[in-house]
Amino acid sequence: MAHELFGERFYGKREPAWHGLGQVFEHEPTAVEAFQEAGLNYHVGKHPLFTYINGNYEIIEDQFALVREATEDDPQNRMFGVVSNQYQVLNNMDIAPIVDLLSKEWPIETVGALKDGRTIFVTLKADLAEVAGEELAKYFLLTDTKDGRGGAMRLAFTPIRVVCTNTLTSAISGARDQFSLTHSGSLEADLNGAVEIIAASKRAERDVLETFRHMAQFQADADMLQTLLDAAYPLPKVGRWERFKDDLEDLGVGKAVTDRVLQQHEKLEARRQVRMRLQGGAKEVYQKFCDEHTDLAQTPWAMYNAIVEFEDFRNGWSGREGESLLFGQRAERKAKAFTAAVKVMRGS
């Protein structure tokens, strides 16, 4: 199913989730309680790997199977991947007490598990803020993927526009509010440190909100707004060979070189067309935003929101696309647009 939940391991505050699975709570549980109620206290461990050669079993050195042990609703051991001796498993029951350093101040909003338990997520609701007459709800997110294929533990702040549930990723406030932690021997210590830093960084939120408000008040011309689009969707530059493509025949260049230059040009042109379509899509959302919020028209806030909304909702939200909204290419595009908006305002 598209939601990819592990069984019904979802625990959410007050209102059922769109998928209708899991449990709803009315109180404010600790992270330890929420993980327990959501069924996240299953165990993942490293186990030796063997190979069968010529009738004999031989252990594979420095390679281990990453296995989730059987649960009541899935009575089968599930292998998530193969890892080295350096890979550290931090089980969910070890993560929850560390998250409770934050849940004492910010209540748990949701917890859940995906893909047979490979990935867990937890969100804590920070507070509300107002920008240009709209509310921003701020959330702390933690996700952890235990599969040995490059999955990392990630922590971030994410403001959400309440009006349209637009995800404004943590990248807007800089690296200090986002961490990606590898499953190394120091994972538990790294997680403790990251949580402590994020808790302390709450003081920096005022600066982010002030930047938002400045973006909503700043009147920008068309060139300034185009700068945000170019930052999010940069058009590829002309390559070192492409500038000669129209002169190849006059220069008497051989067929092999000519074909190579033209092939490179075709690839470059295809990339350019993709970026132009993305810019066009964001422009359409921008115009709609300006029509609906005339007091915010022609501002970096309008263009930034258009880019964010376009990235969040094109092609929907599922699987790796959802992850990209928070940590991947789509998040990077939003972050680049935000950085460009700040530069535009400072350079005026």
162: three-class secondary structure by DSSP? coil
Beta-carbon count within 10 A of 111 CB? 29
Q: What is the pLDDT of residues 53-95, one digit of tens each?
A: 999 999 999 899 999 999 998 999 999 999 998 899 999 999 9
177 pLDDT band, cuts 50/70/90, is low
pLDDT at 9: 79
202 and 325 in a common domain: no
Average pLDDT over residues 196-221: 78
pLDDT bucket at 101, cuts 50 / 70 / 90: confident
Residue 213 lies in a domain: no
22/140 same-domain check: yes
- Is residue 211 pLDDT above 60, yes or no? yes
pLDDT at res. 319? 43
Shared domain check, 80 and 110: yes
Q: Is the pLDDT of residue 127 over 80?
A: no
pTM, full prediction: 0.62
Domain endpoint, select from 208, 243, 264: 208
For residues 82 and 160, membership in a common domain is answered with: yes
Find the mean pLDDT for residues 129-134: 72
Average pLDDT of the chain is: 79
Q: In terms of domains, do 153 and 42 share one?
A: yes
The b/e string for 34-49 (b: 16+ C-beta within 10 A; e otherwise) is bbbbbbbebebebeeb
What's the pLDDT band for 165 if we cut at 50, 70, 90?
A: very low
The rounded distance, in Å, linking the Cα atoms of 188 and 194 is 10
- Give me the residues paired with residue 158 across strands: 139
* Residue 305: Cβ within 10 Å count: 27
66-75, 127-136, 171-180: segment of lowest average pLDDT: 171-180
What is the domain range of residue 310? Answer: 218-347
Q: How far is CA 271 from CA 82, 114, 152, 236, 328, in A?
A: 36, 34, 30, 7, 19
Residue 248 confidence (pLDDT) = 59
pLDDT at 53: 92
Q: How far is it, in rounded angstroms, from Cα 102 to Cα 208?
A: 20
**24-34: average pLDDT:** 80
Q: Of all helices (H) and strands (E), which one includes residue 213?
A: helix 205-217
Q: What is the pLDDT of residue 239?
A: 60
- Please report which confidence band the pLDDT of residue 188 belongs to, taking 50, 70 and 90 as the band edges: confident
**Residue 289: enclosing H or E segment and its boundaries?**
helix 255-292
Same domain, 184 and 252: no
Asked whether residue 181 falls in the same domain as residue 36, the answer is yes
Closest CA to 338 of 176, 251, 227, 249: 227
Is residue 193 domain-shared with residue 248, that is, in the same domain?
Answer: no
Instruction: Tell me which of 189, 208, 227 is where a domain ends.
Output: 208
- Looking at 160, 187, 208, the residue that finishes a domain is 208
pLDDT band at 279 (very low <50, low <70, confident <90, very high): very high
Q: Decide: 121 and 142 in contact? Cβ < 8 Å.
A: yes
Same domain, 169 and 266: no
| Closest CA relative to residue 340, chosen from 195, 171, 205 | 171
For the chain, strand residue ranges (E) read 5-13, 23-25, 44-53, 56-68, 78-83, 108-114, 119-131, 134-145, 153-161, 166-167, 178-181
One domain for residues 36 and 172:
yes
Q: What pLDDT score does 280 carry?
A: 94
Lowest mean pLDDT among 98-112, 145-159, 247-261: 247-261
Q: What pLDDT was estimated at residue 159?
A: 63
Q: How far apart are CA 142 and CA 122, in angstroms?
A: 5
* Residues 36 and 181 grouped into a single domain: yes
CB 39 within 8 A of CB 113: yes
Claim to verify: residue 73 and residue 126 sit in the same structural domain: yes
Residue position matching structure tokens 């649960």: 71
> For the segment 231-250, what is each residue's pLDDT rounded down to a tens digit?
999 988 766 556 666 665 66
Taking residues 12-36, what's their average pLDDT?
Answer: 67
